[in-house]
Amino acid sequence: MLREALFAKIHHATVTFCDENYVGSITIDADLLDACGMRPNEKVLVADCTSGARFETYIFKGKRGTGVVGVNGAAARLTGIGHKVIVMSFCHLTTEELGVHRPKVVIPGDGNSVGRVIEYDPA
Q: Which of 58, 89, 113, 120 is catalytic?
A: 58
What's the rounded mean pLDDT across residues 81-104? Answer: 97
Q: Using one digit for the tens of pLDDT, what is the confidence trace for 67-78? A: 999 999 999 999
Q: Which of 25, 89, 113, 120 is catalytic?
A: 25
Q: Using one digit for the tens of pLDDT, what is the confidence trace for 8-53? A: 999 999 999 999 999 879 999 999 999 999 999 999 999 999 999 9
Does 25 participate in catalysis according to the annotation?
A: yes
CATH number for the domain running over 2-118: 2.40.40.20
Q: Which residues contact 38 (CB under 8 A, 6 or more apart)?
A: 7, 8, 10, 28, 32, 44, 59, 87, 89
Calpha distance 114→108 (Å, rounded): 5
Calpha distance 33→82 (Å, rounded): 20
Instruction: Give domain limits for the chain.
Output: 2-118
Q: What is the pLDDT of residue 57?
A: 97
Does 120 participate in catalysis according to the annotation?
A: no
